[in-house]
Structure 1
Amino acid sequence: MSRWIRVQTSIFDHEVFAAEPFSEREAWLWLISKAAWKDTVHRIGASVMPVPAGSLFVTIREMQAAWKWTSTRRVHQFLELLSSQNMIETCSETGKTLVTVGNYSKYQNAETHSETPESAEAKQKRNTKDTSTPDTNTSSLRSDVCPEPEKSAPGSPTVIELPTVNGDMVLISLADVAEWSEAFPAVNVRQQLAAMRSWLNANPKNRKTSKGMKRFVVSWLTRDQDRGGGRQHPQAQAPPRPQSPSMQRHHDIHARLKRELYGEPDEQFAGQTVDLAAGDFRSH
């Protein structure tokens, strides 16, 4: 086997190299350094995803920023190159990309490179054990399907998903909707969330980051609250108050006098209307 060296993963954050973009070799080493060294989990929105050893969840834009590359297209092409050489496997069905480093357990297992020399007898015993025991963890960590997301915590189901500038989805839970409905009583929160999703889909360049998404939601709801909100409706007018008996008699007398003086109104009359205020038409 070739020589190997131990390198702290903090080398990628060292100020001496901070200004330089990564080479493809450095990008490959970055993926190895960021991969989980043992089985773990990773939260995406309201879901908790299993992450096997040798894998990591990351977005294309996060890799572009970390590697200081000028375009996401170059990142895509590099990942495709690694995949074609069976160096990695990728799965992008969860809003983030799951990158699995091939042969990670073979080369990064702490027992593989022991600082203490093994005796021939101990090494032979270990080799015998390895060959007689079925290997349940393949060296390539291959998976035919993406890991199934675990169910969200009870009492906090997802109401809607909002797309971010990185292509991820921020999950808005029922608890979030309840909190905002209480804070903005004049706003139909669910209706406005649907409007936000439509706006974000139509304006991908103006989308927010995952961290800034809820601040964007609160700002949107605040403006809608200040405008009166979408849930406010004009108050129904109260029915007219019934007239008192004396006022009703006065109204009846007035109506009867009009009929006696002017007669019943003829709805079929289509002649010229005389304006009595235009002159004095009394006989002299």
Structure 2
Amino acid sequence: MNIARSLFHDEAFKDQPYTEREAFMWLVMEASWKDRTKRIGNVVVDLKRGQLAASIRFMAEAWDWEKSTVDRFLKRLEKRDMIGTECGTGTTVITIRKYNEYQGGDNSSGTDDFEKRDSSGTAAGQTRTPEETPEASLEQNTGRPTQLVLVAENDQPKPKTTDGFDRFWSAFPQKGRVAKKAAHEKYCRAVKSGVDAERIISAAEAYSRTDRVQRGFAMHATTWLNGGCWDDEAEAPPHHSRRNPPIHEEVFR
């Protein structure tokens, strides 16, 4: 399934929850192209070709689904023998049953298929070294071959969509700091669309001072970014609670 991951975040499409078909495509695209190991937190997982490892919570954030919906969907796919699952230590290892078929054959190297699909006349991933093209190291890091569209994008100036994300993450309420990778994608999308990074960061700081957050409740960062909530906080005055903060803080500690 030689589809660029950037397709899932193209501005031409409305940002909305994945369909079931899109969710399954995501699983196939995330699966390892060849055997590798992957670290998830403090756990190192051995993955075979056609396998991926992800928590239910991470998939729910990536697809904008409820965790219970993700769980039911995976069970249905497993019942239809489209996937196999192994659960442990909070991480689910998923095996795509017909992975080779979805990839267009049993070519584990991927070289021939990708060369045939190169419409520019250049063999994908063959003309530049990892030092010359950062994207060429993608195969080493993720077990997936470098896709031509990624190499082509490297020839164009890239917008600084990641500027300030670490500051945003630190400023956002700690209870809402989950699914960092998904939050990073949504942050980059917002900055790329023209939203000022400083505006998002200052809004996150203001949100952290709101009465609701001080009482121990906070939206997930992905939900906050997806809803464009910086518009709700960016121009808000400094927070002055009308209630007695010490009482509420003691209740929710």
Same fold (TM over 0.5): no
Q: By percentage of residues, which structure has more helix? A: 2
Q: TM-score, normalization: structure 1? A: 0.36
Query: Computing the radius of gyration over CA atoms, which structure comes out larger, 1 or 2?
Result: 1
